[in-house]
Structure 1
């Protein structure tokens, strides 16, 4: 079996060795379409209308936009895409793009699906990270209230405690499975709460190795100072 070249972005021939000529032409067409605001907006509107009318457009979507930007509809499908990338030395992260619908059942379901991505990732050498969005695990309106310094009702506090428990479940799973896990950065109006959840998990699970990783959006003017402060706190509290 011929050895496949390791991806190098300094050499475009090597960088795109995993793609056929037809696939590259399709990629070019997709990005050219997205670059046209009129066509892009029209396409989104037509796609939403087609889904609303329950027209059979799923196959077309999977072979065009969805097929290019998403690894698959299931963990099993997505792992096949990850395996193909691994042949060229590219590691992957299984990232569930579906967020919670705003009720506790959907938050529990999202947590369980993310947990399964961690379990499957731990079976491979080419998926070293897990990832989650906190907004998939609980009501972001509660985080806005906390960041604004507002008092939570008894029910809101209970909901926030459940959110924290879901975050802990995923971080503990990453620790126990020998993985690393990224806490995805989100909107600035509740990002401080997400940071606090991430640092709490770091203090708990980053004692012997880096398990929990926070994310910083460096286009924000305050991100450097936030990163520096996080580093000082980690030194003071003795975690990695």
Structure 2
């Protein structure tokens, strides 16, 4: 079991309104682009129409790749290759911000596709080990295994012999990644997915923790706190590991599939698995923070949120004497291109802060980008907050 050692002294107070720190990495041109983009994303109908048009244009091989690459792609992605992304990684590192490298491959459907994603992730682990420029990666389980098989397992349906063999290969791919990450001193954040796929993913995450989280938290499972059952899951997960020499890795997020979850529950006539009121999700998220802090002697966790209130709440809790010896086990994360006022100011104040940095070919990353844009339009107050900060910075720079 890892020894609890004091983390570096915090450098200063977390101030999410410090514009000089927030935009220290942005050129005037990037500030103007961001302002235009967030202005566009404040219009949900435009986002929906633009996303559909972009996908169709790429499918028809129309010359729009350059336009996408130089606007929304440039703002939210690190590049088309891991080598391109490295430039952004170094820029973030200069501001003491870690990178969670995320290969933006949406759900695959063939064994060859799953192998390709595994190989890409393994290659990234080698790069991380050799360059020491990043030590965090993100893995989406539907990138290395069939969503149909995960759905059947979630429903406790019997797999055919062929499906059993396919799932065994999925388990092996994940094990290959976690083993390589352990040896390279890299941390693996396993993404959460739709509620109707998640149970076998939770089981896989716990299995990997049991194997690889004995000396440090190599594997983190992601909990979407807009789900009504996640507090119970977190408590039961901690009970299952009680007395074992395992550091439980937990990443908490609010959730990415709200409308999809509500619509499916309504169409199929089962109780909605997500909270319908934002205040309940906020309460659930902060409750998860409290539970993780209570068990910090055997938990390492990441609060991946764009919510300023939850971020400030956690920074205030970190000041408590009982938490101080384990402060190095608490991490914050935001998506690249969003909430720079949180990430940059957390890092400047001495907290463990990171950006989720997706990369991949424009066509491959487009579904990710559309999801980000749609997510932005549905986060209460997110557009207004981003635009307000950018407006202030434009004024401050006299642009």
* Structure 2 length-normalised TM: 0.57
Check conservation: 1:132, 1:183, Cα contact below 8 A.
yes
* Aligned-partner SS, 2:108: coil
CA root-mean-square deviation: 1.7
* Aligned-partner SS, 2:189: strand
Check conservation: 2:108, 2:146, Cα contact below 8 A.
no
Task: For residue 126 of structure 1, report the CA deviation from its aligned partner.
Answer: 4.5
* Aligned-partner SS, 2:217: coil
Of stretches 36-45 and 100-109 in structure 1, the one that deviates more from structure 2 is: 36-45
Count of residues paired in the alignment: 235
Does residue 43 of structure 1 match 2:56? no
In structure 2, distance between residues paired with 1:52 and 1:182: 31
Task: For residue 157 of structure 1, report the CA deviation from its aligned partner.
Answer: 0.4
Report what 1:209 is aligned to.
Answer: 216
**Corresponding residue to 1:104 among 106, 111, 121:** 111
Report what 2:179 is aligned to.
Answer: 172
Q: Spell out, residue by residue over 1:152-197, the C-alpha distance to the aligned partner (whole angstroms, 9 max, x if none).
A: 1100100010000011011111101111111111111121100100
Does residue 157 of structure 1 match 2:164? yes
Report what 2:40 is aligned to.
Answer: 33
Report what 2:28 is aligned to.
Answer: 21
Check conservation: 2:108, 2:142, Cα contact below 8 A.
no
Q: Which runs of 5+ in 1 are unaligned?
A: 1-5
Does residue 181 of structure 1 match 2:188? yes
More strand by share: 2
Check conservation: 1:110, 1:137, Cα contact below 8 A.
yes
Asked which structure has the greater RCO (Cα within 8 Å, sep 6+), the reply is: 2
Report what 1:239 is aligned to.
Answer: 246
In structure 1, distance between residues paired with 2:54 and 2:29: 24
Check conservation: 1:94, 1:121, Cα contact below 8 A.
no
Check conservation: 2:139, 2:191, Cα contact below 8 A.
yes
**Corresponding residue to 2:204 among 189, 197, 200:** 197
Q: Which runs of 4+ in 1 moved over 6 A?
A: none
Task: For residue 39 of structure 1, report the CA deviation from its aligned partner.
Answer: 2.1
In structure 1, distance between residues paired with 2:133 and 2:18: 22
Report what 1:128 is aligned to.
Answer: 135
Check conservation: 1:122, 1:178, Cα contact below 8 A.
yes
